[in-house]
Amino acid sequence: MLSIGIVGLPNVGKSTLFNTLTCNQVPAENYPFCTIEPNIGIVEVPDERLQKIAAISKPAKIIPAAIEFVDIAGLVKGANEGQGLGNKFLSHIRECDAICEVVRGFHNKNIIHVEDKIDPKADKDTINLELILADLATVTKRHEKASKETKTGDKKAIAYAELIGRVKTALEQETAVRDLALTEEEKLALKDLSLLSAKPIIYVLNVDKPEDEHVLNPNDKVVKLNIKLENEIASLPAEEQAEYQKELGMSESGLSKLIRASYELLGLISFFTTGADESRAWTIKNGAKAPEAAGAIHTDFIKGFIRAEVVSTEDFLRAGSEQKAKELGLMRIEGKEYAVQDGDICNFLINR
């Protein structure tokens, strides 16, 4: 399961966001470093399509797609040099696939700010610089080693050293690795370094009101949330949550938007399987071929894949049943080269 690390300065709302996402009450007291070990929670990906599919199939179980969130203690300026709880928490971020950075935009004199000011852009820059400096230390060590290996004259070693040198220069100029124009082959070559600034990132701007204006970067992926309000909504009984959201003029919870945006950030899509036993959403990378999708169900299915029966969710719902979809010619037979689409309902024929 892919994971997203929730990071930010102390007292910006990270643990409250995590509590709200997972309904797993971790400490969220008003002082830095209260989260000493990373807390992990599995979060359901909201998808109304699954419920509609299940309403037709009437399965015994409904299993949604899920994503893992990791609550990581607050970073501070100098974390790359061991300040605060330093490198221990940088290592926790390395283990995540993406970053959710919570930035404080709310005003509350009773909640201290480590820099004693409310400046979302400055907070964002502080965290990102720490990640870049940590990467620079990693890349500098690797560059020294890579440079020595070029003395053999090996073309691959020379190309790798040039790549590492280019990344090192960018980091010295405070440019995140994710912002470099790297080929897929170059990204793969850097993968073993687990560079923090290479990870995809989404920002949660924790505001008093959704209309509050704060300047980050026009190209940043930002979700505005009033985390305190979202926490209050999530604490209500399920039947009261929708009513309260309606009173507030919210079409859905901000958390749902965040979870979906995080799912998209990782380049993920869902396909479905459905029947009397269960209706289930499965997670795959966008662009995955049919055998890879079958492998999400069981790894043995990749080698044994023969073909897939595929119908879109829209066609399935319009037909009203799998059998009717077949009769109407809405269900297709697809082979190994078929790229599974978001919302496909699949039956896989496997050679066992």
Query: 149-160, pLDDT tens digit by residue?
Result: 888 888 999 999
* Residue 76: inside a domain: no
308: domain CATH number is 3.10.20.30
In a domain, 195, yes or no: no
The beta strand positions in 220-312, using DSSP E, are 222-225, 268-274, 278-285, 305-312
Bigger pLDDT: 28 vs 230: 230
Supply the pLDDT for residue 163.
96
pLDDT level of residue 26 (50, 70, 90 thresholds): very low
- Residues in contact with 294: Cβ distance below 8 Å, sequence separation at least 6, in sequence order: 301, 302, 305, 308, 346, 348, 350
Residue 306 lies in a domain: yes
Domain membership of residue 309 (yes or no) is yes
Q: Answer for the pair 312, 343: CB distance below 8 angstroms, yes or no.
A: yes
Instruction: Report yes or no: 17 and 6 within 8 Å, Cβ to Cβ.
Output: yes
**Count of the separate structural domains present in the chain:** 1
Alpha-carbon span 121 to 124, nearest angstrom: 5
Whether 300 is covered by a domain: the verdict is yes
Does 241 map to a domain?
Answer: no
Distance CA 287, CA 284 (A): 8
User: Tens digits of per-residue pLDDT, 210-258?
Assistant: 665 655 677 788 898 999 998 888 888 878 888 888 888 887 788 888 9
In a domain, 164, yes or no: no
- Structure confidence at residue 38 (pLDDT): 57
Neighbouring CB atoms inside 10 A of 193's CB total 17
Q: In what order do the strands lie in the sheet with 344-350?
A: 61-63, 278-285, 268-274, 344-350, 305-312, 332-334
The parent domain of residue 303 ranges over: 287-350
Give pTM, 2 decimals.
0.82
Any domain includes 307: yes
Q: pLDDT digit string (tens) for 302-342?
A: 999 999 999 999 999 999 999 999 999 999 999 999 999 99
The conformation of residue 255, written as its DSSP 8-state character, comes to H
Mean pLDDT of 168-189: 95
User: What pLDDT is stored for residue 81 in this prediction?
Assistant: 55
